[in-house]
Amino acid sequence: MILNKQKTGALLDHLAGVRDVFVPATVDGVSKFFRYGEGIDPDFGMVNTLMPPKDLLFPQTQKMYHFDVDENGSYRIHEYDESREQVVFGIRPCDMRSIVCLDEVFLTKGFIDEFYANARDKLLTVCIGCAKAEESCFCASMGVDPQLAPNADIMLQDCGEVYLVVAQTEKGKAEVAGWSAFTEDEDARPLACEQTLKVNMEGVVDKLENMYDDPIWDNLSIKCLNCGTCTYVCPTCHCFDISQEMRRKDGVRFRCWDSCMFSEYTMMAGGHNPRPEKLERVRNRFMHKLNFFERRYGISLCVGCGRCVEKCPVALDITRLIDEIGAAHV
């Protein structure tokens, strides 16, 4: 089954009639997944947006519950559920893999985050395979096929003038069954996608077990600004803080994105900070990406999207670090 690219707009209008549809676009110089509608011009030729789509499931600021006091002086808690039926159309394979990572964090190991679970259940993922790569893309080295995303509900493979449509889940099959007005029963050949940036992850996870006190972290952390840019553009970073606002007897508790690169992140109530120096924070970030997460969940927390490579103001490059670790004799 194929979808002619000229019919993509009509398909988006169809999808947006019953759900919120989010597409890659650039508004006021910022590229992210915006809600499709008037004034939003989807850009499916864009390889990666600046901001990842994780805020569709894990908002940058999210109300958790509202509390107040009734006429008897008893506290009442009113839970929020702001989740709604959504479609993310045009997500790339690396970002789809990032959702798999977030699923592991928020839905497994005996813990389910209800806010995330509610949003995840209501999200339809339509992935578009890459036909080209940016200079900062290295997803293939991290085990991601730039043309395939087996966990997406619907996979669109770029074949030039058309997309090859493959429904991969029951939710996807049910959705594609209603696309007959936009698709044709034909076959097509996906375009090739070559990446120039490559790293070798072989042995890196094991080597890091013996490199906790290696001088490599001193050298790496010297130029880091601890600005947190890498964590905010990263599709898999999931640190958050919980806070509240009070007005007399009414209050709202909410959570918002935080960063392990900030010194306050690990500050404890008594004033102790287990990661007081920049070195400890930099080491923790990269150990989490390349070792801790894989040991716990079986997959790398880096998906090779290249956002941090491209946006770090001091060019602190995770691909160079991976090469250094691979070359280390430990």
pLDDT in tens, 269-323: 899 999 999 999 999 999 999 999 999 999 999 999 999 999 999 999 999 999 9
Provide the 3-class DSSP secondary structure of residue 263.
Answer: helix
DSSP line for 272-313? --SS-SHHHHHHHHHHIIIIIHHHHHSS-S-----HHHHH-T
pLDDT tens-place string over residues 81-132: 888 999 999 999 999 999 999 999 999 999 999 999 999 999 999 999 999 9
Q: Is the pLDDT of residue 67 over 90?
A: no
The verdict on pTM exceeding 0.85 is: yes
Q: Which residues contact 134 (CB under 8 A, 6 or more apart)?
A: 47, 48, 306, 310
pLDDT tens-place string over residues 124-135: 999 999 999 999
Q: What is the mean pLDDT of residues 58-79?
A: 88
Q: What is the mean pLDDT of residues 231-254?
A: 92
Identify the band that residue 73 occupies on the pLDDT scale cut at 50, 70 and 90: confident
Q: Is the pLDDT of residue 62 over 90?
A: yes
User: Who wins on pLDDT, 69 or 324?
Assistant: 324
Identify the band that residue 249 occupies on the pLDDT scale cut at 50, 70 and 90: confident
Q: Where are the beta strands (DSSP E) in 189-285?
A: 240-247, 250-257
Q: Is the pLDDT of residue 202 over 90?
A: yes
Residue 81's pLDDT is 85
* Cβ(74)–Cβ(158) below 8 Å: no
* Cβ(241)–Cβ(228) below 8 Å: no
Residue 259's pLDDT is 95
Residue 160's pLDDT is 93
The residues that bridge with 127 in the sheet, in sequence order, are: 91, 155
Helix (H) or strand (E) segment spanning residue 211: none
The CA distance from 135 to 123, in Å, is 30
Q: Is the pLDDT of residue 248 over 90?
A: no
Nearest to 23 by CA among 69, 119, 116, 92: 92
Nearest to 237 by CA among 199, 285, 280, 295: 285
Residue 82's pLDDT is 84
Residue 247's pLDDT is 83
* Cβ(134)–Cβ(78) below 8 Å: no
Q: What is the mean pLDDT of residues 171-182?
A: 96
Q: Is the pLDDT of residue 70 over 90?
A: no
For the chain, the average pLDDT equals 94
The 8 Å CB, 24+ separation contacts for 284-293 are 284/260, 285/230, 285/231, 285/260, 285/261, 286/220, 286/318, 286/321, 287/208, 287/212, 288/260, 289/236, 289/318, 290/201, 290/204, 290/205, 290/208, 290/322, 290/325, 291/205, 291/208, 291/209, 293/101
Dihedral sign computed on CA atoms, order 14, 38, 59, 101: positive
Nearest to 142 by CA among 285, 322, 300, 306: 300
Q: Is the pLDDT of residue 71 over 90?
A: no
Q: What is the mean pLDDT of residues 162-181?
A: 96
Burial of 214 (0-12, 13-18, 19+ CB in 10 A): middle
Q: What is the mean pLDDT of residues 59-67?
A: 93
Q: Is the pLDDT of residue 329 over 90?
A: no
The residues that bridge with 156 in the sheet, in sequence order, are: 128, 165
